[in-house]
Homo-oligomer: A and B are copies of this chain.
Amino acid sequence: MQIEALTKRLRQFADDRDWDQFHAPKNLSMALIVEAAELAEHFQWMSEQQSSELSAEKLKEVSYELADVFIYCLRLADKLGVDLPKAVDEKIVINEKKYPADKVRGSSKKYTEYE
């Protein structure tokens, strides 16, 4: 329900601005990656530790970048006609089989190799 309601609101947002014409999946995939990069930019010179201890102000900024990525995910799923919760559900099952817990435990190397 939550995801569906947000999807509808974003569709309305695009329609109100007559922006649907720009929202070809190709273009949305670019916008998505651009937002993901704006998110990553906050972390690029931080250590992993620092990235886990953001100030309240920085966390607010980061949360809005993450929201933008999320928004483009929903918008792209909507334009493609993809049932995103269903796809996520299926993909988690695939990942569970691909990375069996007893074989990959604690190893990022396994993670990378299997990917």
Contact = CB atoms under 8 A, between A and B. Distances in A.
A38 B82 CA distance: 17
23 contacts: A2-B3, A6-B85, A10-B92, A17-B106, A17-B111, A19-B106, A24-B49, A25-B62, A27-B51, A29-B42, A33-B40, A37-B38, A41-B115, A42-B112, A46-B108, A47-B48, A59-B81, A66-B76, A67-B88, A69-B69, A69-B73, A70-B84, A71-B92
Interface of A: 1-3, 6, 9-10, 13, 16-19, 21-22, 24-27, 29-34, 36-52, 54, 59, 62-64, 66-71, 73, 76-77, 79-82, 84-85, 87-88, 90-92, 94-96, 99, 101, 104-106, 108, 111-112, 115
Contact of A43 (B26, B82, B88, B96): B26
